[in-house]
A and B are shown apart, each in its own frame.
Chain A
Amino acid sequence: EVQVAESGGDLMHPGGSLRLSCAASGFTIANHYMTWVRQAPGKGLEWVSVIFHAGATRYADSVKGRFTISRDTSTNTVFLQMNDLTAGDTAIYYCARVGEGWFDPWGQGTLVTVSS
């Protein structure tokens, strides 16, 4: 079964750093685009970052320069390193396999709370 599972969410202070993980199973991340999408409490979905199968990366303007997406193909895991966290980064962070016209599957999400 094709699945992804996020982990690493936590309660953080502003300015802190956190690394999220997304473990994939049932497929090889090296052959696919992998993305992070976040959802602030009570709000809609916001695209955050993508790592393409060739390794190129892209970021939303809201996180550019602070977040870094990476992957470890040996463990089939995608990461999101988040630095200089602000209250605006508080959200559930979802990992998903993505194609141009689809996002599937989605993980259950991991909650990041940034508060003083």
Chain B
Amino acid sequence: QSALTQPASVSGSPGQSITISCTGSSSDIGAYDYVSWLQQFPGQAPRLLIYDVTNRPSGVSNRFSASKSGNTASLTISGLQAEDEAHYYCTSYTRTDTPWVFGGGTKLTV
């Protein structure tokens, strides 16, 4: 069982917006502004999508945005495109002996 809870799957139509939630605790998401989101296509390595809760690395589309409230982080993808179909993982720094924890991943179907 993953330390962070994500829905197993979400779906949307092209052009729509979807939001993926990531629920943790006061020891991880609620403790720091150190949440990141990763995108992973089948057979490929994960890629950093969002860092430090809300920031996009260079090259990531502004259709991807993220936020945090309390112990829950959220990733929103607007203007869905077929190429967004992938697995999305959240991760958070923690104040426990395990410095980072991951969510179980969410499969996005467009």
Contacts and interface: CB of A to CB of B under 8 A. Distances in A.
A40 B70 CA distance: 30
Interface of B: 2, 32-36, 38, 45-48, 51-53, 57, 89, 91, 93, 97-105
| Chain A interface extent, by class | 20 to 34
Main secondary structure of the interface of A (DSSP, over half): strand
A35 B101 CA distance: 12
Among A58, A94, A99, A100, the one with the most B-chain Cβ atoms within 10 Å of its Cβ is: A100
Given A60-B98, A101-B36, A101-B52, A45 B45 contact: no
Given A101-B53, A103-B46, A58 B103 contact: no
A47 B101 contact: yes
A46 B93 contact: no
A100 B98 contact: no
B105 A98 contact: no
